[in-house]
């Protein structure tokens, strides 16, 4: 870390006080005058056609202003970029819980009550909702099979091999803040207060769907109460709020209930993953096949890339990555934290552990023996790869040498104790982003305003951008104001796919360099020591100055393979009588380039780790095959880990200076924190009990 630099130091969250005092404004916190309230009502079949909708009784309820269905909704562009359909454009039903109408009233309670009085009749069709019955009919996805060498021939002749099926269930995102929108029209322009992970993406999708110009849509989203991918691509509720507001000529508030979230804003789909691994007697991998069978919507495809980790983690001369899909009457899946890598790493890293045990090798040694010198999937050199350091430093810090290789032998009272390890990766990328910096001098004080259409999911974007600008301009943090979350600001990448920090911070850093250079040119002087922008504003007596930077990834970055890597270590205690599993200790060791703020970064990693523990032990959305609806419809049914479920959490960041992906060397940590976690827990459970559980979640009934 450079002397006196703020980046790289554990600065407290800039927006922390706003949040703990309740002053941070989320989607429905805006005091809009004359606001009406909308409530969605949904289909009660999974497949078929609406034959009749009777809104007579609903319209009689005091306070009801309108009932909007496909019979009176305006024509929208269904290919405008919103996900999941359900835009009230016709009578066809494609999944249980599809939006079929909106009641708008003076109060939320009036709208909800009236929605229950709308009478709907259907012509019901046979629904495709049972994955187990349908998977034999899976068809090739749009993703071509990736083949290298001859997996089958090598597998059949190998000294050591495994061929197993690993399954991960449907999961839901469940951000603390459910999806919600306030829509306000002023003439032909609409402002949408909405939680959006991609501000400009939400703007263009809303505009295209509403058939209006993009500049006529404004997205306001300064704070987001979590998203985990569900607020990346926007869903029908965003535009339906605008439709309702237009039809009644008043602002409209539309918020989804927790139960409505289950079939309104996507999910992580069920994945069956067949893994075949082959190795010689010395532990060198010879073949790897990762074949995923999953489901998509009945008329649209989304496939989670479960094979991504298998493409790059280990040196293997023969490989196969393939995907098969089943169109089903379920809402289309979408990106969910660590998409593909979190689910795929469970299968891959569990299989690696299984084969290591079969070889009688330590699972860390087995991984080290198959470390690739370059990216196996494309032959590109690594921009940097410190997975070996992650494993070695983690083993030392965790006390891996205390682990017994023989399962089921470490006991304490009624508990079986086990250690597990698993690795993970996620791509490191910078996406095009712009930033404006405004400098204002008042007497001997200079203030900076940073403007960018970035998003903060609660990850610390405000803080790291304030640190970056303060360093780049030569100002204290107290004299830097960061303004984000508004599509009227310069366009920026989304807070998705671990591109946010790299894209936002590099744009701000380059804007700082640019404004300093412009002030130097304006001064017409030569300096022995390069002054800061703040010093130039004072020395030259400039009252106000601003610039804009449109930043892109460095030339030549695509010639390298750039990734973050991690090693995860879990200690589990399994109760022999009840089968209950507790993760007593968890250590994540991460190599993710420059860490802008260790405090917020640690929170990110721990958050991902906890999600991965939930994925391993508790989280599952279950469909009733008779109807196609979810049996798990609230946080009482869908179990996310609470404080008492989590033991000691430790994080270590490996020092890494990699400026190939971007000038600041930022690789991103939002996704990688969950990758490999579930496998580490599952491998620890095997070490504790001798039972290999390949279907998540690992609930007590599977261990007793």
Separation in Å, CA 509 to CA 126, 501, 502: 57, 12, 10
d(CA 283, CA 359): 7
- In the DSSP assignment, the letter for residue 331 is P
Task: Please state, as a whole number, how many other Cβ atoms lie within 10 Å of the Cβ of residue 609.
Answer: 28
- Of the residues 94, 451, 510, 671, which is catalytic? 671
How far apart, in Å, do the first and last CA atoms of the chain sit? 51
Phi, psi of 103 (to 5 degrees): -105, 130
- Is the CB of residue 156 less than 8 Å from the CB of residue 238? no
- In the DSSP assignment, the letter for residue 432 is -
Task: Please state, as a whole number, how many other Cβ atoms lie within 10 Å of the Cβ of residue 123.
Answer: 12
Structure tokens at 627: 């109807």
* 678 three-class SS: helix
671 labelled catalytic: yes
Which residues are within 8 A (CB) of 222 and not within 5 positions of it... i.e. 6 or more apart?
A: 24, 25, 456, 484, 485, 486
Q: How would you classify residue 541: left for phi > 0, otherwise alpha for psi between -120 and 50, otherwise beta? A: left
Is residue 34 packed enough to be buried (19+ CB in 10 Å), middle (13-18) or exposed (0-12)?
exposed
What are the DSSP calls for 8-61, one per residue?
A: TS-PPPTTHHHHHTT-S--TT----TT-EEEEEEE-SSSSEEEEEEE-HHHHHS
* Closest residue by Cα to residue 456 from 266, 341, 563, 600: 600
Residue with tokens 């508790």: 618
| Catalytic (active-site) positions | 671
């Amino acid at each position: 870390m450079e002397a006196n630099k703020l980046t790289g130091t554990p600065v407290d969250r800039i927006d922390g006080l706003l949040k703990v005092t309740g002053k941070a404004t989320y989607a429905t916190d805006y005091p809009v005058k004359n606001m009406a309230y909308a409530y969605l009502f949904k289909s009660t079949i999974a497949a078929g056609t609406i034959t009749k909708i009777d809104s007579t009784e609903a319209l009689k309820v005091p306070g009801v202003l309108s009932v909007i269905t496909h019979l009176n909704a305006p024509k929208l562009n269904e290919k405008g970029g919103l996900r999941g359909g359900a835009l009230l454009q016709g009578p066809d039903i494609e999944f249980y819980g599809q939006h079929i109408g909106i009641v708008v009233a003076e109060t939320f309670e009036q709208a909800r009550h009236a929605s229950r009085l709308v009478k709907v009749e259907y012509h019901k069709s046979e629904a495709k909702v049972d994955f187990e019955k349908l998977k034999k009919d899976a068809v090739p996805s749009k993703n071509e099979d990736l083949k290298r060498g001859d997996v089958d021939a090598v597998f059949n002749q190998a000294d050591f091999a495994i061929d197993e099926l690993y399954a991960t269930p449907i999961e839901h995102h469940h951000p603390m803040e459910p999806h919600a929108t306030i829509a306000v029209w002023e003439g032909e322009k609409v402002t949408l207060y909405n939680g959006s992970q991609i501000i400009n993406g939400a703007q263009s999708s809303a505009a295209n769907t509403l058939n209006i110009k993009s500049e006529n849509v404004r997205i306001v989203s300064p704070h987001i109460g979590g998203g985990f991918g569900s607020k990346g691509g926007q869903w029908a509720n965003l535009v339906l709020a605008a439709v309702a507001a237009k039809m009644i000529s008043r602002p409209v508030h539309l918020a989804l209930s927790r139960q409505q979230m289950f079939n309104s804003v996507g999910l992580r789909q069920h994945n069956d993953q067949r893994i075949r691994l082959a190795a010689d007697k010395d532990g060198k991998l010879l073949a790897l096949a990762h074949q995923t069978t999953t489901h998509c919507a009945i008329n649209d495809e989304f496939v989670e890339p479960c094979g991504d980790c298998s493409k790059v983690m280990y040196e293997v001369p023969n490989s196969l990555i393939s995907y098969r899909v089943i169109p089903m009457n379920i809402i289309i899946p979408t990106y969910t934290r660590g998409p593909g890598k979190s689910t795929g790493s469970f299968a891959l890293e569990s299989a690696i552990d299984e084969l290591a045990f079969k070889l009688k090798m330590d699972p860390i040694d087995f991984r080290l023996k198959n470390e690739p010198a370059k990216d196996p999937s494309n032959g590109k050199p690594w921009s940097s790869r410190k997975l070996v350091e992650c494993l070695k430093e983690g083993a030392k810090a965790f006390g891996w040498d205390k682990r017994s290789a023989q399962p089921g032998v470490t006991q304490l009272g009624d508990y079986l104790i086990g250690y597990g390890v698993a690795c993970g990766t996620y791509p490191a990328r910078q996406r095009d982003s712009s930033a404006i910096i405004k400098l204002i001098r008042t007497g001997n004080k200079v203030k900076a305003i940073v403007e960018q259409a970035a998003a903060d999911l609660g990850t610390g974007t405000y803080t790291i951008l304030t640190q970056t600008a303060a360093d780049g301009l030569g100002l204290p943090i107290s004299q830097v104001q960061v303004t984000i979350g508004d599509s009227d600001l310069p366009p920026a990448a989304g807070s998705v796919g671990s591109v946010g920090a790299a894209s936002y911070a590099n744009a701000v850093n380059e804007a700082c360099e640019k404004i300093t250079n412009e002030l130097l040119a304006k001064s017409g002087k030569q300096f022995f020591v390069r002054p800061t922008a703040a010093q130039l504003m004072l020395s030259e007596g400039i009252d106000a100055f601003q610039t804009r930077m449109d930043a892109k990834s460095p030339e030549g970055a695509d010639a390298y393979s750039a990734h973050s890597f991690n090693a995860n270590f879990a200690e589990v205690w399994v109760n022999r009588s009840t089968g209950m599993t507790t993760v007593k200790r968890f250590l994540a060791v991460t190599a993710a380039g420059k860490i802008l703020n260790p405090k917020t970064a640690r929170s990110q990693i721990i958050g991902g780790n906890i999600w991965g523990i939930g994925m391993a032990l508790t989280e599952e959305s279950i469909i009733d095959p008779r109807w196609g609806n979810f049996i798990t419809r609230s946080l009482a049914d869908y179990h996310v880990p609470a404080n008492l479920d989590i033991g000691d959490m430790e994080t270590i960041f490996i020092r890494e200076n990699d400026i190939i992906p971007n000038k600041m060397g930022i690789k991103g940590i939002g996704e990688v924190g969950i990758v490999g976690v579930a496998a580490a827990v599952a491998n620890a459970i095997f070490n504790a009990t001798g039972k290999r559980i390949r279907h998540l979640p690992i609930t007590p009934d599977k261990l007793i």
